[in-house]
Amino acid sequence: PSNSIPQELHIAILTLHSIAHMQWNEISTHLKDHPESAHQMIQCSKACVADDFFALLHDVGHDEPVYPPSPSQKYPKGSEESERLKDIALKPESFGKNPVQLAHLASMDIAPSTAYKYIHQHHNFAPYRPCCKLKLSQNDILSHIQFAQWALTQPQASFVFTDETWIEIGSPRGKPNVWTPVGSDPYDFVIPTNSRPQFTLMLSGHFTHGYQGELYIWVRKNGSERKEHHSLLESINPKIHNYNQNRLLNEEVRERSKGGGMDW
């Protein structure tokens, strides 16, 4: 009889029926009873349990799901260690170091993935490629625009386009990313070039309208070779100067750079 069933069991039966949405035959399986007996037991349980239970059951059914709190961070945002990580990342000698190296400099005992998370979530840092070109001044920008406007008025066949690339053997591969605050000026985070390659050469090429020039490989000279080359240019320049002084009116002026360049 239902009167002999403890109230805790009545509540358990109603919980299975209302929360877990178990049917009578499922509940009877758990109670090892006949389905009809389970049905009668549910009806009796509703009559035996106070109205407070159903009010509580209604509130629980409409509550938002409650999730366990996430584990607290070892060095939370705003902590002394987190701020020290930011200060070290903003030092010029730290430019080019990754978050793991920065965390090591900040004496933070954290996993590599946590170091990346801290530098991004705590301080809004992101990786950027370092700047390779000098920042143009306002005068440089205006002169570039003036040259482009003049070039647009000239025949295309009168231009020769050149490009070159340096190849360094024995230097660190690639350039490291610079971790900087999002939205900051990349020219404020310039990495000094300290690489000392064992061997350096330059590959250059040129083309013009209807013609593609051959590739040229120029090997960087050592100190004695540069001095010898400079002496050669110094001996040639006076001859060019004399030529320009005595040239005919229909002959063009010849020039040669004094800094070791090979352009006429």
- The pLDDT of residue 224 is 81
**Average pLDDT rounded to a whole number, residues 259-263:** 43
Query: Where do the domains of the chain lie?
Result: 7-59, 80-123, 156-173+191-223
What token pair was written down for 192?
Answer: 């000094």
* 229 membership: H or E segment, kind and range: helix 223-246
- Give the strand pairing for 125-128 and 160-169: unpaired
- The pLDDT of residue 70 is 64
The per-residue pLDDT for range 41-86, each reduced to its tens digit, is 666 666 655 555 555 555 554 545 555 666 677 888 889 999 999 9
pLDDT above 90: residue 38: no
Query: CA–CA separation, 243 vs 235, rounded Å?
Result: 13
- Report the 10 Å Cβ neighbour count for 29: 13
Residue 113 near residue 100, CB atoms below 8 Å: no
To which residue do tokens 């109670």 refer? 31
The per-residue pLDDT for range 173-182, each reduced to its tens digit, is 666 778 888 8
